[in-house]
Structure 1
Amino acid sequence: MEENQSKTSFFKNMKPELLMASLAVLISFLTLFVYLYQSSLMKTQQKMSVWPHVTFGPSWGSDYLAINLINKGVGPALVKGVRVAINGQNVDGIESLMEYVPDSLQSEFNYSSIFPGQVIMVGEDIQLLQIQNPKSISYLLNLLRAGKIQIEVCYCSIYEDCWMSNGISVNESEC
């Protein structure tokens, strides 16, 4: 009982100015926390408004094989690195794929290189490789399906958030 009386007497003896000042400080701290939270949300929203999303993969028919790369995101993708490997061995670039096709299956092909420093704009579609010889198509498709050809593109947003795309999956990366 004595404890309740001491609390009651504490508030009764408190000056109204001190009570108002304490409430003002409390409201100021609450406002600060709301501002910091809102600032964090705005930063996240700003980063997401320029998020690139690079994917690529083969498309084929009886008379063509193409590997296209596209930025399906909402911001430009800044290429930091590209890795092309056949049977786990790194090669110079997408054009090197045809060096691994046996001479009897060789054919003409078209390719586009991507390189560090290149910017892939939103919606930009780059045809990395196009082949029209059915024998070469069949050979390369078998390698692709078996996972013996790997292509990885490391890219970043304008805020330096980076990802690694292997065509199907995109994962955060340090590049």
Structure 2
Amino acid sequence: MKSEKWYKNPEMLVALCALSVGLLTAFISIYSAYIDRAYARASVWPKLEIFRSYSANTYSYGVSNKGTGPAIIHYAKVTNADSVLKAWTDIAVFTHIVQSHIGNVTIPSGQTVQPLSYEGDEVAKILELDDSISIELCYCSIYQQCWIVDRTNFSQEVEECVISGDQKFLQ
């Protein structure tokens, strides 16, 4: 009796086709899960913007979340010239201010927080200092994708939010 080659056997052809279909299905499932994860991350992507507002007798800083998901702020770093600030009152003209905590809050999508509001006659002095004030925020999405943003509003992605205790803004 003559033996057939294994690849000419009909059962083997059916088995190879089933194996090919199974591998293709596995590849499509893995790719679909990858796309679903990317879509889920994009659907809750925060985007913080830092802005200032002033008029004749009011001055304020604000932080707005223009993204599609909540921004979890892990730290704030505020400097005036080269000195690191722990509180807004470290700047002499910020004596009569209204402030809210910005160092570790969650800002929902479409919301704005005003970490500093000043009303008084010293707005001109504050505007002179404004260029020397630097604000840096490190924030993450709920999927632990993290970014650092400063007053230029250019977000730079980072692995994680880490800062030494002596540089952390406490308010």
TM-score (norm 2): 0.81
* C-alpha contact (below 8 Å) 1:84/1:90 kept by paired residues: yes
What corresponds to 2:69 in structure 1?
75
* C-alpha contact (below 8 Å) 1:107/1:133 kept by paired residues: no
Deviation at residue 109 of structure 1 after TM alignment? 2.3
Percent identical among aligned pairs is: 28
Change (3 A) 1:127 1:97: farther
Q: Distance in 1 between matches of 2:5 and 2:127?
A: 83
Partner of 2:45: helix, strand, or coil? Answer: coil
> Deviations 1:87-138 (Å, cap 9, x if unpaired)?
1211113x23532x3xxxx66322222122x22222221112222334x222
1:165 is aligned, of 149, 158, 168, to 149
* C-alpha contact (below 8 Å) 2:89/2:95 kept by paired residues: no
> Deviations 1:26-57 (Å, cap 9, x if unpaired)?
11111111111110000111111111111111
Bigger shift: residues 121-130 or 36-45: 121-130
Partner of 2:54: helix, strand, or coil? Answer: strand
Q: Distance in 1 between matches of 2:34 and 2:129?
A: 46
Partner of 2:73: helix, strand, or coil? Answer: strand
Amino acid at match of 1:98: I
RMSD: 2.2
Q: Give 1:111-130 correspondences, 5 Å limit.
A: 111-116=99-104, 118-130=105-117
Counting matched residue pairs gives 156
2:44 is aligned, of 8, 31, 50, to 50
Q: Distance in 2 between matches of 1:107 and 1:79?
A: 26
1:137 aligns with 2:131: no
Deviation at residue 22 of structure 1 after TM alignment? 0.7
Deviation at residue 14 of structure 1 after TM alignment? 0.4
Q: Which has the higher helix share?
A: 1
TM-score (norm 1): 0.79
What corresponds to 2:137 in structure 1?
153
Q: Distance in 2 between matches of 1:33 and 1:140?
A: 60
Greater Rg, structure 1 or structure 2? 1
